[in-house]
A and B are shown apart, each in its own frame.
Chain A
């Protein structure tokens, strides 16, 4: 049987000290979907994505990734996810090829040299592959971060404001990667502050407000209008 649920959260709560970041979130995302996550600063978007990525443990609740309980099968669950966070997760004194080789070894990728050359070529980074990451531009560093997240061919791509601060070209690279992952059957779940641009390619969207999930809808002209109204009202 093919697993149709990519990500599932059941009653997830997370607090930082006295501040409640997520309040009993229930959420199911199906395979092959591109889902955009919106919310104002402090709404809990990054916490939600970090919990999905398993970098952060929730205080309460269960997480299932491709049908598997992330508490019981943490390694397998992590191997299904590619995560791009606010930061690039790269060592600035290593070159892109050295960074990718390091992560490829951690993911146990067989024939990693071929795979690394392939992702570097896909992201047009071959000519920069031997320069230290610190010498690359912000957009080039973000592309290396995307290469790192795609290296192990994950079933699910999580992106936390991956296009923030990028120029138009780098943003178009991010968008094309999202579409490629989705076309090959993968699931993409990303947070953004740009609803107009994001809803152009997302199938669904989720709206968080003060740690509570207030909307999970299919992306269509009516729902987009509703979302924009909510976001503008709260601004």
Chain B
């Protein structure tokens, strides 16, 4: 177990060092996400009533699009330089590659979401600095990252990977997106946890299902 954790941590740490050194992912995804937020700002009249209705959709569209872009690149470097074969010929369990990659994309998406929250405050006057929204976002991002890590590994071996990933990823992730958007709408309109708790439970349920299934399927996907 210690070896498993160490291997996953080593892969995560390597991805983190590479990202801090090159800023390739964040440099691409962040401007893209901010542009999405800006486009919606010019499309709608940001009145409080309208924003309470369409706001959750805007937030989650921005999160999902930026996430999809980040996931497309998750295995690209490993594929481009053949390092995936280097990982596969090492004695580490395949699942630890999955966990390492999952932690990498989770961390990247949380950082991007953390940067987007003040952008939404400035553009739409959404105060998203509250524990309920942060909990929902964190839990939903776990689900995105687990499914994204699996489908990114599948898509990287296909010719039309940029198209393949969203086609595979978005329909599967739909239950989490719907639950997260619905919970966000409740956060905008009500106080307390009671109204968002059923949605949060649904997200956690899908997180567990996706994490377990993705880590099991990853082993066979990565060896093909």
Which A residues are within 8 Å of any B CB, using their own CB?
50, 53-57, 74-76, 78-79, 81, 83, 85-94, 98, 102-103, 105-108, 148
Contact = CB atoms under 8 A, between A and B. Distances in A.
B86 A89 contact: yes
B10 A102 contact: yes
B77 A91 contact: yes
B14 A55 contact: no
Given A91-B77, A106-B10, A78 B90 contact: yes
Contacts of A54: 88-89
Contacts of A79: 91
B88 A55 contact: yes
A107 B91 contact: yes
Given A57-B223, A93-B22, A94-B18, A106 B85 contact: no
A113 to B, nearest CB: 15
B159 interface: no
Given A83-B85, A92-B81, A106-B91, 9 more contacts: A55-B85, A57-B224, A86-B82, A89-B86, A91-B81, A102-B14, A106-B10, A106-B11, A148-B86
A76 B85 CA distance: 17
A89 B14 CA distance: 14
B89 A78 contact: yes
Contacts of B93: 75
A88 B81 contact: yes
Contacts of B85: 50, 53, 55, 83, 85, 87, 89
Interface in B1-55: 3, 6-7, 10-11, 14, 17-18, 21-22
Contact of A98 (B17, B86, B88, B89): B17
Given A91-B18, A93-B21, A98-B17, A76 B82 contact: no
B130 to A, nearest CB: 38
A94 B10 contact: no
A103 B86 CA distance: 8
Given A56-B223, A98-B17, A103 B90 contact: yes
Interface in B72-89: 77, 81-83, 85-89
A76 B223 contact: no
Contacts of A94: 14, 17-18
30 contacts: A54-B88, A54-B89, A78-B90, A81-B89, A85-B82, A87-B82, A87-B85, A88-B81, A89-B81, A89-B82, A89-B85, A89-B86, A90-B81, A90-B86, A91-B14, A91-B18, A92-B81, A93-B18, A93-B21, A94-B14, A94-B17, A102-B10, A103-B90, A105-B10, A106-B11, A106-B90, A106-B92, A108-B6, A108-B91, A148-B86
Given A102-B14, A106-B7, A90 B91 contact: no
Contacts of A57: 223-224
Contacts of B22: 93
Contacts of B223: 56-57
Contacts of B77: 91
B83 A78 contact: no
Contacts of A81: 89
A81 B83 CA distance: 16
Contact of B87 (A76, A90, A106): A106
Contacts of A75: 91-93
A141 to B, nearest CB: 10
Given A75-B91, A78-B91, A93-B22, A108 B3 contact: yes
B6 A55 contact: no
B78 to A, nearest CB: 9
Contacts of A105: 6-7, 10
Given A94-B18, A102-B10, A105-B6, A88 B82 contact: yes
A76 to B, nearest CB: 7
Question: Which one of B6, B7, B77, B88 has the greatest number of beta carbons of chain A within 10 Å?
Answer: B88
7 smallest CB-CB distances across A and B, nearest first, come from A87-B82, A89-B86, A75-B91, A78-B91, A106-B90, A79-B91, A105-B10
B90 A107 contact: yes
Contacts of A83: 85, 89
Nearest to B96: A106
A115 B127 CA distance: 53
Contact of A91 (B83, B88, B90, B91): B83
